[in-house]
Amino acid sequence: MTKPTSRLHFLDAIRAFAIIMMLQGHFVHALLGDAYRDRSNIIYSVWEYFRGITAPTFFTITGFIFTYLLLKQSSKGLENPRVLKGVKRAIKIIFWGYLLRLSLYAVFHGTLNPSFFYVDVLQCIGTSLLLLIGIYLIVYRYNFGLFQNVTLGLGVVIFLLQPVYESLILDFLPNTIANYFTNKNGSVFTLLPWFGYVCFGSFMATLFLKYGKHRLFYYYTPIVLLSIGLFLIFYSSGALMVLYDVTDLAVFKSVAYNNFLFIRLGNVFVLYAIFILAKNYFTHPVITKIGGKTLSIYIIHFFVLYGSWLGLGLNRFFYHDLSPVVTAISTLLFVSGICALVLYYYKYEEKLKLRVKPLLNNIYSVTNINLPEVLSNIKNEIIRTYRNIRYTRR
């Protein structure tokens, strides 16, 4: 097996790990009973710590894979096929991010639920991809090294300025835009600081592209990643305090006292090192398929767990109500069930479409429902309601 193939398996394995960690993390967080959320319990505290690694891993691997595939193309600029493909992918992700938060009950009553405007992981990832494409189109035409420096520099600056933008409210902006930069209105994931992880992943991809063909690259890389990761976890706060003592810039002290961004980045580097060391064990096609279907898995899990449009998910009926044993068994069933459902759907996608299409045609003919017209009406109602809300807030 060639090294490029091994690298792709290793990347898919990290993405598969991240989506599975996300599934179990959301499930346990939503359904485990309040009486068992005890941080003095070693099992719960370990679970909570590793749950905190999931989002940084997901954003970092997103920047890594997208940049790796983007820069691997021989053509540059707008002629690079990955640019248009990336824009389409980003818009699709953002679209689903909003669609999953839509309440049909609110739409049919002529309004939009407030949570529809919250920015969650999908909107943040999609917008981050668009920003990466913009950086690529502006910077990469000059030279490869400048793109490297810009992505690394952006990642460092975004992390260091976290105390500055943490309290941003941005009242002068419409909530739809402000929600991408502040969580004061209810957003879960915002571009600051999460785009920083995407930038670090992008920078790492440039290193893999530049040095990946060297004979000893995969021998030294885990050692370097592990060393940097452990340094960030255990010594980055001290290093930031040294910088504060030398420069007298208060921002270094503020970051050191709330140093979760660099510590989590260290966790990600350690995780990368482990996966690279074990990359030969991640060649099973199921791992690759799970890693390649993360968006579909996320969408399905959102419907099942949170109910999405109708609000009739597991969270509605078992919110903070399950015992640890029931939660553990249910989590295993939930994760395996969601992954199996998505993988089997894509395996038999064409056959299912051939069977479902005549059935839908019969329903349309009997009920006289024009689906495109219905969808168009829903879209127009959403736009009209959104404009009314904006006009009222003014």
What tens digit of pLDDT does each residue of 241-279 get?
999 999 999 999 999 999 999 999 999 999 999 999 998
Residues 294 and 190 in one domain: yes
List of E strands, 318-359? none
Residues 140 and 267 reside in one and the same domain: yes
Dihedral of alpha carbons 30, 35, 37, 42, sign? negative
- Comparing C-alpha atoms, which of 292, 269, 136, 121 is closest to residue 195? 121
Residue 383 CB: number of other CB atoms within 10 A?
10
C-beta atoms surrounding 163 within 10 Å: 15
| 135 & 271 share domain | yes
| 8 A C-beta contact, residue 252 and residue 290 | no
44's tokens: 């719960």
pLDDT digit string (tens) for the chain, length 394 residues: 334 444 468 899 999 999 999 999 999 999 999 999 999 999 999 999 999 999 999 999 999 999 999 999 888 888 999 999 999 999 999 999 999 999 888 888 888 888 999 999 999 999 999 999 999 999 987 788 899 999 999 999 999 999 999 888 888 888 899 999 999 889 999 999 999 999 999 999 999 999 998 989 999 999 999 999 999 999 999 999 999 999 999 999 999 999 999 999 999 999 999 999 998 888 888 998 999 999 999 999 999 999 988 888 999 999 999 999 999 999 999 999 999 999 998 888 777 666 666 655 665 565 555 556 655 666 566 666 656 655 555 5
Do residues 114 and 221 both lie within one domain?
A: yes
Structure confidence at residue 6 (pLDDT): 42
In 3D space, the residue among 308, 376, 386, 385 whose CA is nearest the CA of residue 97 turns out to be 308
| Boundaries of domain holding 392 | 351-394
Residues 359 and 305 in one domain: no
Contact in structure between 390 and 174 (CB atoms under 8 Å): yes
Same domain? For 146 and 242 the reply is yes
Per-residue pLDDT, 377:
64
Tell me how many domains the chain contains.
Answer: 2
pTM over 0.85: yes
| Dist CA 212 CA 383 (whole Å) | 48
Place of tokens 């994931």: 189
Q: What residues pair up with 32 in beta bridges, in sequence order?
A: 322
Q: Verify that 294 and 356 share a domain, yes or no.
A: no
Note whether 178 and 203 are same-domain residues. yes
Q: Is 392 found in the same domain as 326?
A: no
pLDDT on residue 376: 62
Q: What is the pLDDT of residue 226?
A: 97
Tokens 């992880």 correspond to 197
**Treating both helix axes as pointing N-terminal to C-terminal, what angle do 42-71 and 144-160 enclose, rounded to 10 degrees?**
150
| 361 and 300, same domain (yes or no) | no
Amino acid at position 275, single letter: F
pLDDT of residue 5: 44
Statement to judge: residues 343 and 355 lie in one domain: no
pLDDT for res 394: 52
Report the amino acid identity of residue 312. Answer: L
Same domain, 293 and 359: no
